[in-house]
Amino acid sequence: MRHLMSPLDFSVEELDTLLTLAQDIEANPAKYAHACAGKKMATLFYEPSTRTRLSHEAAMLNLGGSIMGFSSADSSSAAKGESVSDTIRTISCYADICAMRHPKEGAPMVACQHSRIPVINAGDGGHQHPTQTLTDLLTIRNLKGRLDHMTIGLCGDLKFGRTVHSLIHALVRYPGIQFILISPEELRLPDYMRQDVLDKLQIPYKEVVRLEDAMPDLDILYMTRVQKERFFNEEDYVRMKDFYILDRKKMKLAPETMYVLHPLPRVNEIAVEVDSDPRAAYFRQVQYGVYVRMALILTLLEIHVD
Ligand code: CP
């Protein structure tokens, strides 16, 4: 039985197969409409979510399966003190697969150690968000036709941003990838990512504070939100929250072939006026998130459709 805790749980070849399956699902949805008939997915969300929970549920429904779950810790027995390991033992009696989001790093890993069904990490604290990474990879591959030889700008909260950490882990495995890390000093990529991943694998990168300085060199700009929920005090959040605002003027500095991605939700970091720019790809990214989660469910449940 397989779980998904990190993008590194799949080899590059397996990722390629998964993304190709997602593309086939997009092209031939009817072929997959009953692939999960009789199967149930549980979504166990201890932290708020719109896209990740509902896209897992949409994915299972599109495959002909059923869904159940909770959308906050308060509405589950976690509020009475139940442990993650007891909860997953229980859910294993009800469902065939589950997706778990938790504010504590490592909670989905604890779950998979006690689970009789595949567990998908749907985001654990500031650690990893592998299904967002699958979404990002599918989006980049579809937009650019490749996942190698690119300059990727990562902008915003690189310290707590689990989507950024997961994406870096995934992209460093492709040749010719370089990063421009765009953040204020306080939200720099942590040492465990810079030294233990980028330096160790000799991945070229530079760090800049001004978004304008990076724009002309980018193939992909990956914007992120400054996450209020990860700050210990309100004052620091207020100081940081509007540090970056991507607007039409800044978009003029970027190549015509650059695309803007964002895991969403956005707050102020991308002005609404950018949405109509053909290079704004963040809502297409949301759609790809359904196809890739359909492919993931089929892969983890070992369901093959001719
Ligand atoms: N991208 C993402 O994780 O969005 P949600 O928090 O809405 O699930």
CATH code at 96?
Answer: 3.40.50.1370
Domain of 171 in residue numbering reads as: 130-286
Of 210 and 127, the one with more pLDDT? 210
Q: Is 153 inside any structural domain?
A: yes
Instruction: Find residue 261's DSSP bridge partners.
Output: 222
Instruction: Check whether residue 101 and residue 140 sit in a common domain.
Output: no
Number of domains in the chain: 2
pTM of the model as a whole: 0.95
What residue ranges line ligand 1, CB within 6 angstroms?
49-52, 123, 132, 263-265
Is the domain of 114 the same as that of 250? no
Is residue 305 assigned to a domain? no
Residues 118 and 155 in one domain: no
Is residue 2 in some structural domain? no
Ligand 1 nearest-atom number relative to CA 263: 1
pLDDT digits (tens, 9 = 90+) for 191-208: 999 999 999 999 999 999
Write down the catalytic residue from 3, 40, 43, 52. 52
Residues 6+ apart with CB under 8 A from 186: 159, 236, 240
Banded model confidence at residue 247, pLDDT cuts 50, 70, 90: very high
Both 70 and 218 in a single domain?
Answer: no
Banded model confidence at residue 306, pLDDT cuts 50, 70, 90: confident
Instruction: Ligand 1 pocket test: pick from 43, 46, 49 the residue with the most ligand atoms within 8 Å of its Cβ.
Output: 49
* Domain shared by 108 and 198, yes or no: no
| Active-site residue, selected from the candidate residues 3, 40, 43, 51 | 51
Give 223's pLDDT tier (boundaries 50, 70, 90): very high
Claim to verify: residue 15 and residue 161 sit in the same structural domain: no
pLDDT-derived band at 255 (thresholds 50, 70, 90) equals: very high
Q: Which atom of ligand 1 is nearest to the CA of 289?
A: 1
* 109 inside domain: yes
Examine the domain organization and report whether 146 and 278 are in the same domain. Answer: yes
In a domain, 156, yes or no: yes
- Quick one: pLDDT at residue 154? 98
Is 101 tagged catalytic?
yes
Q: Are residues 63 and 101 in the same domain?
A: yes
Residues 154 and 274 in one domain: yes
Which tokens hold the place of 53?
Answer: 């929970």
Cα separation, 225 vs 264, whole angstroms:
8
Both 134 and 282 in one domain: the answer is: yes
Give the confidence band of 239 by pLDDT, cuts at 50, 70, 90.
confident
Tell me if 236 is assigned to some domain: yes
Summary mean pLDDT of the chain? 96
Q: Same structural domain for residues 194 and 51?
A: no
For a mutational test of ligand 1's pocket, the pick from 52, 129, 261, 285, i.e. the residue with the most ligand atoms closer than 8 A to its C-beta, is 52
- For 34-58, write each residue's pLDDT tens digit: 999 999 999 999 999 999 999 999 9
Specify whether 80 is catalytic.
Answer: yes
Q: Which of 43, 46, 50 has most ligand 1 atoms within 8 Å of CB, for mutation?
A: 50
pLDDT: which is higher, 235 or 43? 43
